[in-house]
């Protein structure tokens, strides 16, 4: 049975380093590489044999934790292991909240990265860093995260475009859909997020850190 592993990072040299780590752990796997979130999303949607996603938060096209949210929505069955230079335990906790199986810093030892890849492929949660305690407001955000998790991949793309300040016409052009379809998606987004307009929808997304650049 064939399997593929996607490395999504905009730095070719780091993709190469991760590919070497994957080769040590899963020499039978086909390694896929993507330098943008759009390219990664396309591969995730197309590859039925995808077994693991190694994802950097700082991807062109990604805003904050949106890359995790989008790829997890595309394939909730495929584990996502974030390998990022983002600082602080908050980033690790948020990454898991949006669907990541584990979080590693880019300066982690190669052996640690290999162990995390092996664990994720085996269906286990990698022994990666967790914060000692969560902030008081974390539980308050859980219901909102669940609403965001209920959005479809296309709805997430529309929401991110709204966050970017794009008009319906621009969103329709970038996604290759009609303005009427964009409006229909916005209606569904507002219903799922329990808000009454696109400004409120953007505020909900910002409250979850989807607008933050790491």
CA distance 141 to 214: 20
Tens digit of each residue's pLDDT (9 = 90 or more) over 127-155: 655 444 444 445 555 677 778 878 888 89
pLDDT in the model for residue 133:
41
Q: What is the mean pLDDT of residues 65-82?
A: 88
CATH topology identical between 4-121 and 138-207: no
Bigger pLDDT: 137 vs 172: 172
State how far the Cα of 119 lies from the Cα of 126, in Å rounded to an integer: 5
CATH class of 138-207: mainly alpha
Task: Give the integer Cα–Cα distance in Å for 163 and 176.
Answer: 18
CB 78 within 8 A of CB 53: yes
The whole-angstrom separation of Cα 175 and Cα 160 is: 12
For the chain, domain boundaries:
4-121, 138-207
pLDDT higher for 164 or 128?
A: 164
Superfamily name and number for 4-121: Response regulator (3.40.50.2300)
Where residue 214 falls among pLDDT bands split at 50, 70, 90? very low
Query: What is d(CA 5, CA 72) in angstroms, rounded to the nearest whole number?
Result: 15
Query: What is the Cα Rg of the chain in Å?
Result: 17
Q: Which residue has the higher pLDDT, 93 or 50?
A: 50
For CA atoms 69, 70, 76, 82, the dihedral sign is: negative
Q: How far apart are CA 160 and CA 117, in angstroms?
A: 29
pLDDT for res 64: 74
């Amino acid at each position: 049975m064939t399997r593929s592993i996607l490395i999504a990072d905009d730095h070719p040299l780091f993709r190469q380093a991760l590919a070497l780590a994957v080769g040590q752990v899963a020499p039978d796997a086909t390694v896929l590489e993507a330098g943008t979130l759009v390219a990664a999303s396309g591969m995730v949607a197309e590859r039925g044999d995808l077994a693991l996603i190694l994802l950097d938060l700082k991807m062109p096209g990604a805003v904050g934790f949106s890359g995790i949210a989008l790829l997890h929505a595309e394939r909730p069955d495929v584990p996502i292991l974030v390998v990022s230079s983002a600082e602080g335990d908050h980033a690790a906790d948020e990454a898991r909240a949006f669907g990541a199986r584990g979080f590693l810093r880019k300066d982690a030892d190669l052996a640690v990265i290999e162990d995390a890849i092996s664990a994720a492929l085996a269906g286990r949660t990698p022994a990666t860093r967790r914060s000692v305690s969560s902030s008081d407001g974390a539980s308050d955000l859980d219901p909102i995260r669940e609403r965001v998790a209920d959005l479809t991949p296309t709805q997430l793309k529309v929401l991110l475009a709204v966050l970017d300040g794009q008009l319906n016409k621009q969103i329709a052009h970038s996604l290759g859909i009609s303005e009427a379809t964009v409006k229909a998606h916005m209606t569904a987004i507002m219903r799922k997020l329990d808000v009454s307009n696109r400004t409120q929808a953007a505020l909900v997304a910002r409250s979850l850190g989807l607008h933050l650049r790491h």
